[in-house]
Amino acid sequence: MNLRRLPSLGAVALALVLAGCASAPPHNPLAQWRGSPNFNERRAQLIVLHHTQMDSVGEALRTLQTANSQGKVSAHYLIGEDGRIYQLVAEERRAWHAGAGRWGDVSDLNSASIGIELDNDGSEPFAEAQIQSLLRLLADLTRRLGLPPQAILAHGDLAPERKSDPSVQFPWKRLAEAGFGLWPREPLAAPPPGFDPWAALRLVGYDLRDPGAALAAFHRRFRGNEARDWQPGDAEVLYDLQRQLVALPEGAPPPLPAPPLR
């Protein structure tokens, strides 16, 4: 055997590193890459927030890289309670996190969204380090992808009849104070005579095929409860949200139309 014809161990290692770099898609330097094979190609217009409803970030990582009882699942990002950010799918690819649902006229939600999972069992407050990392990630994503602030949504907003994440514990007001997501402004004004709260709910983006579920999702996000009937103050909140959407700043996409209710 002619040993001089064999490559050195260093050369072999370098070749392996270069091969790995060549095969890995572009990913966010804020996150540790933990690639998942569960994706398709896509273009993002929305950011969807979830909670994992699992006991640990390790369990969530395993599920997002393999499958759960309903089949293969993934998300673009997972944020642990300690604030560590993991990226599982490249942003230009279609992760499998949203499933069936609708927001306005968008029905293929996986194709239209970035999915962010938060390590939380659905009954506990969200950790401070986790929220700090989420704010940092949202600032990065909205800047690079050119997404408007109202594009940050809850999974429960998109599929109100079957999903409730992130839970009522999620601090939407805090996100809005940092410039992310839609939130009512104080002081709230009374809506004009003839104001239709159902039409306003549809204008915001909610699917009204199951009205009670849509109301529960609206209340979960904006009122801190999951009531399935109209509550005092709902009309004032919706009137302000509607006013914000019809007066979007220049360069933001126009609000979705509110088709006649059936």
The amino acid at 85 = I
Q: Which tokens sit at 84?
A: 């560590």
Segment 129-143 mean pLDDT: 97
Q: Which of 41, 81, 117, 250 is catalytic?
A: 117
Residue 261 pLDDT level (bands cut at 50, 70, 90): very low
Residue 225: the pLDDT is: 97
Segment 136-155 mean pLDDT: 94
Is residue 43 scored above 90 in pLDDT? no
Q: Which tokens sit at 53?
A: 């409803």
Is residue 224 scored above 90 in pLDDT? yes
Q: Is the peptide bond before 193 cis (omega within 30 degrees of 0)?
A: no
**What are the Cα distances from residue 134, in Å, to 28, 142, 180, 201?**
13, 12, 11, 27
Residue 252: the pLDDT is: 46
Q: Which tokens sit at 175?
A: 């996100």
The amino acid at 90 = A
Is residue 248 scored above 50 in pLDDT? yes
Residue 25: the pLDDT is: 66
Eight-state DSSP code of residue 245? H
Reduce the DSSP state of residue 103 to 3 states and report it: strand
Segment 113-127 mean pLDDT: 97
Contacts of residue 250, defined as CB under 8 A and 6 or more positions apart, other chains included, come to: none
Which residue is it, tokens 């399935």?
Answer: 228
- In the chain, the percentage of residues whose pLDDT exceeds 70 is 84
Contacts of residue 152, defined as CB under 8 A and 6 or more positions apart, other chains included, come to: 46, 47, 49, 138, 142, 175, 180, 181
**CA 44/CA 86 separation, integer angstroms:** 19
Q: What angle do CA 120, 234, 252 make, to 5 degrees?
A: 75
Calculate the CA 249 to chain-centre distance: 22
> Rounded to a whole number, what is the distance in angstroms from the first to the last CA of the chain?
82
Q: What is the mean pLDDT of the chain?
A: 86
Other Cβ atoms within 10 Å of 225 Cβ, number = 11
pLDDT tens digits, 159-178: 999 999 999 999 999 999 99
Is residue 117 scored above 60 in pLDDT? yes
The amino acid at 196 = D
Residue 257 pLDDT level (bands cut at 50, 70, 90): very low
117 is catalytic: yes
The amino acid at 198 = W
